[in-house]
Amino acid sequence: MTSLANHPKAATCLACLTCWLCVSCQARPDAGGSAAQAAKPATLKPVDRLAPDELAAGNAEVWGFVVPREMKVEHRYKEVTHLVGPVKPDALANYVRERVVVSHVEIGAARTIFPDARIKAGAADRVYELDVIPEPGTTRLVIRDTTPPPVQPGLTDAERWRRAGLTPEGRPLDPKAFE
């Protein structure tokens, strides 16, 4: 058996053939293009431009939700935050839709509600309700933390009712406390 080292011309030809095969095997786009390739660039979002009525992310953040640049935090409480700004309700609903995980959206004439939503950039164990409410000249976004309190293991139903200040029938333990 002879090796290619003994035949430099054959080694050179083999190297050229290998390079030619590698270059010719690369995928080339069709001149006519397929329907899937033609639709693909249309679905990509431009990196440096916003689509019409698309909201830009701002610097403020509420529970991991990035507030749109055109909106401001009006009120912030322990379990609810109100954001307001001169944006279109549909644009705000689309902005919210991209930033939360939700099973369904309730769309009505007076508001759009995202119930039992999880904020993608927020804590995974927290549940929120986001309401998009159109108002004259502005739009309000109400973000409400609806995470239920943790269940303490080992308590009976009667003990849970008692800790809530109620009897197992749902009546107050101390009726004067509610006056």
Mean model confidence pLDDT for the chain: 82
What is this structure's pTM?
0.64
pLDDT tens digit sequence for 81-127: 999 999 999 999 999 999 999 999 999 989 999 999 999 999 999 99
d(CA 70, CA 52): 14
pLDDT over 60 (residue 176): yes
Confidence bin at 174 (pLDDT 50/70/90):
confident
Query: Token pair of 65, please?
Result: 């939700």
Name 34's Cβ contacts closer than 8 Å, sequence gap at least 6.
none
pLDDT tens digit sequence for 147-169: 988 878 888 888 888 888 888 88
Query: Token pair of 12, please?
Result: 């050179």
Query: Token pair of 153, please?
Result: 């293991």
101: number of Cβ within 10 Å: 11
